[in-house]
Amino acid sequence: MQTNNNCIVIFGASGDLTHRKLIPALYNLFKFGRLNKFSVLGVARSELNDDTFREKMREALIETEETTPETLDAFCSHLYYQAVNTSDAADYGKLVPRLEELHTKYQTNGNTLYYMSTPPSLYGVIPECLAAHGLNTEQDGWKRIIVEKPFGYDEKTAQELDVQIHRFFEEHQIYRIDHYLGKETVQNLLVLRFSNGWFEPLWNRNFIDYVEITGAESIGVEERGGYYDGSGAMRDMFQNHLLQVLAMVAMEPPAIINANSMRDEVAKVMHSLRPLTQDDVEHNLVLGQYTAAEIDGKEVKGYLQEKGVPANSRTETFMALRCEIENWRWAGVPFYVRTGKRLPARVTEIVIHFKTTPHPVFSQNAPENKLIIRIQPDEAISMRFGLKKPGAGFEAKEVSMDFRYADLADEQVLTAYERLLLDAMKGDATLFARTDAVHAAWKFVQPILDYKETGGRVHEYEAGTWGPVAAEKLIAKSGRVWRKPSGKMKKKV
- Catalytic positions are 241
Least distance (Å) between residue 488 CB and ligand BG6: 16
**Closer CB to ligand BG6, 111 or 376, in the complex:** 376
**Closer CB to ligand BG6, 172 or 307, in the complex:** 307
**Closer CB to ligand BG6, 179 or 384, in the complex:** 179
Cβ neighbours of residue 201 under 8 Å, at least 6 residues apart? none
**Closer CB to ligand BG6, 189 or 333, in the complex:** 189
d(C-alpha 381, C-alpha 189), whole Å: 10
Least distance (Å) between residue 241 CB and ligand BG6: 6
Number of residues that bind ligand BG6 (CB under 6 A): 5
**Closer CB to ligand BG6, 263 or 341, in the complex:** 341
Residue 422: closest CA among 36, 117, 103: 36
Q: Which contacts of 330-334 are long-range, i.e. CB under 8 A and separated by 24 or more positions?
A: 330/204, 330/205, 330/250, 330/272, 331/205, 332/205, 333/205, 333/208, 333/209, 333/210, 333/211, 334/210, 334/211, 334/478
Least distance (Å) between residue 215 CB and ligand BG6: 7
Q: Cα angle vertex 324, ends 458, 357, to 5°?
A: 115
Least distance (Å) between residue 39 CB and ligand BG6: 27
Phi-psi region of 342 (alpha: psi -120 to 50; beta: other; left: phi over 0): left
Residues 147-186, one symbol each (x = binds ligand BG6 by CB under 6 A, - = not), give: --x-----------------------------x-------
Residues 43-62, one symbol each (x = binds ligand BG6 by CB under 6 A, - = not), give: --------------------
- Considering only 162, 212, 229, 236, the residue that binds ligand BG6 (CB under 6 A) is 236
Residues 320-339, one symbol each (x = binds ligand BG6 by CB under 6 A, - = not), give: --------------------
Least distance (Å) between residue 475 CB and ligand BG6: 22
Please give the residue whose beta carbon sits closest to ligand BG6 in the complex.
236
**Closer CB to ligand BG6, 143 or 149, in the complex:** 149
Does residue 379 touch ligand BG6 according to CB under 6 A?
no
Residues 106-145, one symbol each (x = binds ligand BG6 by CB under 6 A, - = not), give: ----------------------------------------
Does residue 418 touch ligand BG6 according to CB under 6 A?
no
Least distance (Å) between residue 458 CB and ligand BG6: 18
Does residue 217 touch ligand BG6 according to CB under 6 A?
yes
**Closer CB to ligand BG6, 53 or 151, in the complex:** 151
Q: 353 to 372, contacts with ligand BG6 by CB under 6 A?
A: none
Least distance (Å) between residue 199 CB and ligand BG6: 25
Contacting residues toward ligand BG6, per CB under 6 A: 149, 179, 217, 236, 348
